[in-house]
Structure 1
Amino acid sequence: MAKDFKTRVREQFSRTAEGYIRGKGFAGGADLEAALELMKPTQDDTLLDIACGGGHTALFFAPHVRSVVASDLTMQMLKKAQEYLSEEGGVDNVTFREADAEDLPFPAGSFTALTCRIAPHHFTDVPRALREFHRVLRRHVGRMVIIDTLLPEDPEIAEFYQTFEQMRDPTHVRAYTEQEWITMVEEALFKVEKTLIFPKTHDFQEWARRAGLDAAGVKKLNQFFIDAPAKMHDYFQIETFAGEVEAYTDRKILIYATRIDKK
């Protein structure tokens, strides 16, 4: 099941890689600035960026560390990310590696820092991935920042969110609440040092088409938003004009955690 699903993930992101490279929302943001402030990287750090997508997080951190390994499940995405970093220029300490977040091809203790941004909702087994993150981080100094979409606490709103994400992108597995994240991270032998929540406003058309939806799919998703109860419109701040959704806002969670050494 997981193997078949990951094949679909590779196929999906091979088709849509260019959209993620050019997506305006990935290149910067308050979440990255907060991650930098919390992690306090130095030139002694070796950083692993998990599920690097377009390479934006790797590029952001590269000037602040000795080296970055940008890893992703999808080879086509890695190729596009490498092209993007070459175009942007200014860094020469990023290497690229095909890797499954749940089965990382790196020796124990290979890295002092780790990032994983807007990706875990695609993972089939987040606790297993977190155990791998713990394994590849170095004792005493290992620390990580995870950023992903926050699942609303309200069950109705959470169900609405899960439904529209899977309508848009069949490789979406699920998002998690803040408490679910804290529990999973702590069970993987990390100490949660800080959690932060950021609002994120999405241009609806760009967001929908980036995942590869055709015109009929975008129309169906648009109508799903339009027909949603007022409660959903309020929570997601859905902006419409003449029957078309222009934007909506969700929330991202940042978890900063340090590695607890096994006894």
Structure 2
Amino acid sequence: MDKGFKEKVKEQFARTADRYVHDEGFAHGDDLAEAARLLNPTTDDLMLDVATGGGHTSLFFAPKVRSVVASDLTMQILKKAQEFISEEGGVENITFREADAEDLPFPAGSFTILTCRIAPHHFPDVPQALREFFRVLRRGGRMVIIDTLLPEDPEIADFYQTMEKMRDPTHVQAFTEDQWLAMAKEAGFIDLQTQKFPKTHDFITWAKRSGLDRQGVQRLNKYFIDAPQKVHDYFQIETFAGEVESYTDQKLLLFGRRPEKK
């Protein structure tokens, strides 16, 4: 994909920045606690949070590490994240940097911890992003990626890909657990571990967060309603009077480490 796509990503998230910053679904979650357990952060750690979005992951880890660089492709959402974190108060060790996940503007070995949460499905080239994550981590550095898990069943996976693109044109691709493990291994990471977390979404809040208008929400609602029964079962789609109230997907947490030696 060319630069034109990444400009669309910037436009999309600049327009919807407030919704991501103030969405409680990003601020909390068992996935964050598990990420902290696996990363085992200390006040000696230098952390990079890639595609920080509303800054929630950076804010969660800031008290646990020496410093955090919160990076994102979209300057407008970085400004909103900075405002949000400033309003929360009590955190002074986060800096903000505009950065493309596939071409990070940091020297090799700059960080000891790297996080990237609910973002890689927007990346045109995830293997390249993983190579960059590996490059900017010091030897022995730790990484956690959290993103939506692509279902193994091809029909359910196709439904997922279609509905995400109906909701958000900047969605590129989600991956299965095996695909994530293969990509991380190819990038050089070791000690790979995965965990899955269910996440229930209020349908209207989720649909509108990406900027869908009323007609777009209605089309998406119909697509959910008309889905095969196994899709309803997999996503635990809850409906009332022909309207989708909620659905539940799976998030995958992937932990990996850069080897101590070449």
TM range (shorter): over 0.9
Does structure 1 residue 144 correspond to structure 2 residue 135? no
Cα deviation 1:134-165 (Å, max 9, x = unaligned): 110011x2110000000000000000000000
> Residues 121 and 174 of structure 1 are in contact (CA less than 8 Å); yes or no, is this contact kept in structure 2?
yes
CA deviation after TM superposition for structure 1 residue 262, in Å: 6.3
Structure 2: distance between partners of 1:74 and 1:111 = 21
CA deviation after TM superposition for structure 1 residue 2, in Å: 2.4
CA deviation after TM superposition for structure 1 residue 261, in Å: 5.2
Partner of 2:17: 17
> Residues 14 and 74 of structure 2 are in contact (CA less than 8 Å); yes or no, is this contact kept in structure 1?
yes
For 1:88-99, what aligned pairs fall within 5 Å after superposition? Answer: 88-99=88-99
> Residues 47 and 111 of structure 1 are in contact (CA less than 8 Å); yes or no, is this contact kept in structure 2?
yes
> Residues 189 and 261 of structure 1 are in contact (CA less than 8 Å); yes or no, is this contact kept in structure 2?
no
Partner of 1:173: 172
Structure 2: distance between partners of 1:233 and 1:115 = 32
CA deviation after TM superposition for structure 1 residue 95, in Å: 0.3
Partner of 1:106: 106
> Residues 185 and 192 of structure 1 are in contact (CA less than 8 Å); yes or no, is this contact kept in structure 2?
no
Partner of 1:45: 45
CA deviation after TM superposition for structure 1 residue 260, in Å: 2.4
Identity of aligned residues (%): 71
For 1:100-249, what aligned pairs fall within 5 Å after superposition? Answer: 100-139=100-139, 141-249=140-248
Q: Secondary structure at the match of 2:48?
A: strand
Q: Output the amino acid matched with 1:74.
A: T
Runs of 4+, deviation exceeding 3 Å: none
Q: Secondary structure at the match of 1:57?
A: helix
Question: TM-score, normalised on structure 2?
Answer: 0.99
For 1:66-81, what aligned pairs fall within 5 Å after superposition? Answer: 66-81=66-81
CA deviation after TM superposition for structure 1 residue 193, in Å: 3.0
Structure 2: distance between partners of 1:221 and 1:33 = 32
253-262 or 3-12: bigger deviation: 253-262
Q: Secondary structure at the match of 1:151?
A: coil
Structure 2: distance between partners of 1:16 and 1:110 = 31
> Residues 141 and 258 of structure 2 are in contact (CA less than 8 Å); yes or no, is this contact kept in structure 1?
yes
Structure 2 vs 1, CA of residues 192 and 164 (structure 1 numbering), >3 Å: closer, same or farther? Answer: farther
Does structure 1 residue 82 correspond to structure 2 residue 82? yes
Structure 1: distance between partners of 2:219 and 2:153 = 24
Structure 1: distance between partners of 2:90 and 2:2 = 38
CA deviation after TM superposition for structure 1 residue 194, in Å: 1.4
Structure 2: distance between partners of 1:255 and 1:64 = 20
Q: Output the amino acid matched with 1:8.
A: K
CA deviation after TM superposition for structure 1 residue 207, in Å: 0.2
> Residues 190 and 259 of structure 2 are in contact (CA less than 8 Å); yes or no, is this contact kept in structure 1?
yes
CA deviation after TM superposition for structure 1 residue 60, in Å: 0.1
Partner of 1:254: 253
Cα deviation 1:198-231 (Å, max 9, x = unaligned): 0000000000000000000000000100111111
> Residues 186 and 192 of structure 1 are in contact (CA less than 8 Å); yes or no, is this contact kept in structure 2?
no
Aligned residue pairs, count: 262
Structure 2: distance between partners of 1:216 and 1:89 = 39
186-195 or 208-217: bigger deviation: 186-195
CA deviation after TM superposition for structure 1 residue 79, in Å: 0.3
Q: Output the amino acid matched with 1:9.
A: V
CA deviation after TM superposition for structure 1 residue 24, in Å: 1.4
Q: Output the amino acid matched with 2:198.
A: P
